[in-house]
Chains A and B, each alone.
Chain A
Amino acid sequence: MSDPSPATSSEGATPDDTATEPSHWWRLIAIWVVLSAILDPLFYIFAGPHVPPGRMTSTASGAQFDFNVLLVIALPVMLGVWIFMIYAIVMWRASRGGPEPVGGPAARGNMPIQVGWILTTTVIVLFLAGFGTYELVQPEGAGGGQGPSPIWTPTSHTVLPIQVIGQQWKFTYRYPTYGGFETTELVIPDNTTVAFHVTSLDVIHSFWAYQLGVKADANPAQDNVAFTTPSQLGTFIVRCSELCGIWHGAMYNSGVVVTPSAFQQWASATRIRLAANTKLLPPFSYTYIPDANGADGGFYPDNVDPYSKVQTYGATPPVPAPHG
């Protein structure tokens, strides 16, 4: 491999100078390897657990792992650039009264550099393409909306379906296995796989539960399914992440992950509390067709594909409950 160091001066260089010039390439590589070997694991161990979106759910943990892999790959690249830059400033800067530095041998036409560059970038890009594709499916569909027929389906024995309904400008949530009540509160049980069925009553919204690692577009007349399994108790924020009108910025609310027993208590109490209004709701449907004329009501449910069963992908809901 050719030495990247510039000659000190076309006029001032002597055969003796060239003979004593150190191997800058090997120095650079040694510094880069050592620093990368130290900083990469340090970053992964100490900063990795704090990388967004945290570890509240299986899909959030998956997203955090993906970010950490990207950062662990990116860190040596960044170090390579910084080390070269600092090394060049230190070693090849113009000294006061000394000769003017001139450029070294051109990289163009340098076969080892070209091959090395192409090979390195190809390996990194192909790895990321394969890794990224795999991670889009695992775990649990990466928390993304997978449409009405998800590629990834849960193997869990208990799956809780929750319908997320976007409307200008708020989200509401229906719990079909608890009589189909609809509420503005999003409460989910810990250690239970949740199937979010995301839809909209008007324009396109996007259900983004950041700490859950879940993001799924809410399209009218579409059932967009996203999965996750909480592993930590606590609150999380839900935001709309699709520009949807004047109050898009105010279209957010908080949700909470509670213990399974607390969830049962909440669901039972809410079912009773909202019973009067639940009777007036239409039967649960995966999608609803709003009337484009808008100001008239009665577009709910769609009457196209009426709800027939609570889709739990072969699993049972946390507590079998009759549909009200």
Chain B
Amino acid sequence: MSRPWRLTTAIGLFLIAVVGIVFTVIALTNEPPTVDYAAGHQSGQPVAVTMQAVGSFGSGNHPTWVSYLTRTPEGQWVHTTLWQVPAHTRVNVTIYNYDSGSPLRNQQIGQITGTSGNVALLNGKPIHLINSNVGNGVAHTFSIPTLGINVPLFANNPNANLCAAAPCPTKSPVQVIKFSFISPAAGQYPWQCFVPCALGFLYGNGGPMQTIGYMDGFMKVVA
């Protein structure tokens, strides 16, 4: 190999390494914060996890992206999908859905599974299933596949004056979904939305559907 070729190869490899390191550092430093529901938790007491789902976050790098947000125990809304709960504890989840919806690509995820009693409360009314082909359809799901948990979020009327910037005020049209489950042993459990809700991306599964902090996250369970 001639000297210019060797030099070019070396520079190329160096640049690839630099780019790799930069991407890794960015990825590591860009991780959203973790909302800690386990700190100060008293054994035997349930923890309350509160989230909201919005059709467009409204600010930041991706203002048009659909997203989840999480509320801290102190009541602050944080743009994150990472939260921490104690192991083997009842987790009471409340999700405020401010987004519109559609029929599901796969009605299988219209069922409530894996929660206590395989039931959820939609605006106070117990449901086991949402028929996505009627009414407003389903906006998103909260799903932890490894635990069999799946909760579809009933959608708002798309013609209503929907919230377009997070965090949404409670006066905006909203559907409130509540359910409970028992947290498993310590570990990290990925959770996601199963509705291909990334508008503008092929098959609706790009962008926010592939990004931690938007429609994917981790439930971190600590002993």
Contact = CB atoms under 8 A, between A and B. Distances in A.
B106 A165 contact: yes
Contact of B107 (A168, A203, A251, A281): A281
Interface string A272-288: 00101100111000000
A83 to B, nearest CB: 38
A247 interface: yes
Given A201-B105, A246-B216, A294 B205 contact: yes
A293 interface: yes
Given A168-B209, A170-B145, A203-B203, A295 B190 contact: no
A280 B105 CA distance: 12
Interface stretch (B36-44, B70-78, B126-134): B126-134
Contacts of B106: 165, 167, 172, 182, 201, 300
B86 interface: no
Contact of B201 (A276, A282, A294): A294
Contacts of A297: 102-105, 132-133, 137
Contacts of B203: 202-203, 290-292, 294
Contacts of B209: 168, 245-246
Interface residues of B, number: 36
Interface stretch (B2-10, B23-31, B167-175, B192-200): B192-200
Interface in B74-111: 102-108, 110-111
A280 B216 contact: no
Contacts of B104: 297
B211 A299 contact: no
Contacts of B216: 246-247
Lowest 6 A-B CB distances belong to which pairs?
Answer: A294-B204, A297-B103, A297-B102, A295-B199, A294-B196, A202-B203
30 contacts: A165-B106, A167-B105, A168-B196, A170-B194, A182-B106, A201-B105, A202-B105, A202-B203, A245-B205, A245-B210, A246-B212, A246-B216, A247-B145, A274-B111, A276-B129, A277-B107, A280-B110, A280-B129, A282-B107, A290-B203, A292-B202, A293-B199, A293-B204, A294-B197, A294-B202, A295-B102, A295-B198, A295-B199, A297-B133, A298-B102
Given A184-B108, A293-B199, 13 more contacts: A183-B108, A184-B148, A245-B210, A250-B145, A250-B190, A274-B111, A280-B132, A281-B108, A294-B202, A294-B204, A295-B197, A296-B103, A297-B105
